[in-house]
């Protein structure tokens, strides 16, 4: 990743927003995917003591958005990308621990991108999986 892109991502992370609220940290990012993590706290729970599904949806949207943004920058298309569809399957419930988030490109085109987002627990078990479709937007 080039320095300008790294600085843009760093500034976005420091500015606050949903990722900061959820505690989502991006460890590695490129147009080929990201790797990130978050530690589950009671703030992520729904009323029955397990992670709220919206947490996974929000993390998937952020992870795919960062991946898509990196790709449009690295590919020379430029601009940014915004989410237009997010489908998340909740496969295993958890109430604590660390979650690792990775993205994999399914399709990267001139107008749209499709990303798979895998979220695994600290034992490597898949707990949620998303497909997020992104629209490339010229700036």
* CA–CA gap between residue 107 and residue 37 (Å, rounded): 24
Q: Choose the catalytic residue: 7, 14, 28, 61.
A: 61
Active-site residue 61, yes or no? yes
* CA–CA gap between residue 15 and residue 2 (Å, rounded): 20
Strand locations in 53-110, DSSP E?
80-90, 97-108
* CA–CA gap between residue 73 and residue 33 (Å, rounded): 13
- Going across the sheet that includes 25-30, the strands are 25-30, 33-40, 97-108, 112-120, 126-137, 80-90
**Residues linked to residue 34 through DSSP beta bridges, in sequence order:** 29
State the catalytic residues: 61
């Amino acid at each position: 990743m080039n320095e300008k892109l790294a600085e843009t991502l760093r500034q976005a992370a420091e500015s606050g927003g949903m990722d900061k609220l959820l505690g989502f940290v991006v460890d590695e990012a490129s147009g080929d995917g990201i790797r990130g993590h978050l530690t589950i706290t009671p703030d992520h729970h729904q009323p029955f003591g397990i992670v709220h599904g919206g947490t996974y949806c929000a993390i998937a949207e952020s992870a795919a958005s960062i991946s898509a943004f990196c790709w449009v920058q690295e590919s020379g298309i430029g601009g940014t990308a915004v989410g237009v569809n997010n489908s998340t399957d909740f496969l295993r419930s958890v109430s604590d621990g660390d979650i690792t988030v990775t993205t994999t490109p399914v399709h990267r085109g001139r107008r749209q991108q499709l990303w798979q987002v895998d979220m695994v627990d600290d034992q490597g078990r898949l707990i949620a999986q998303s497909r997020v479709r992104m629209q490339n937007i010229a700036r």
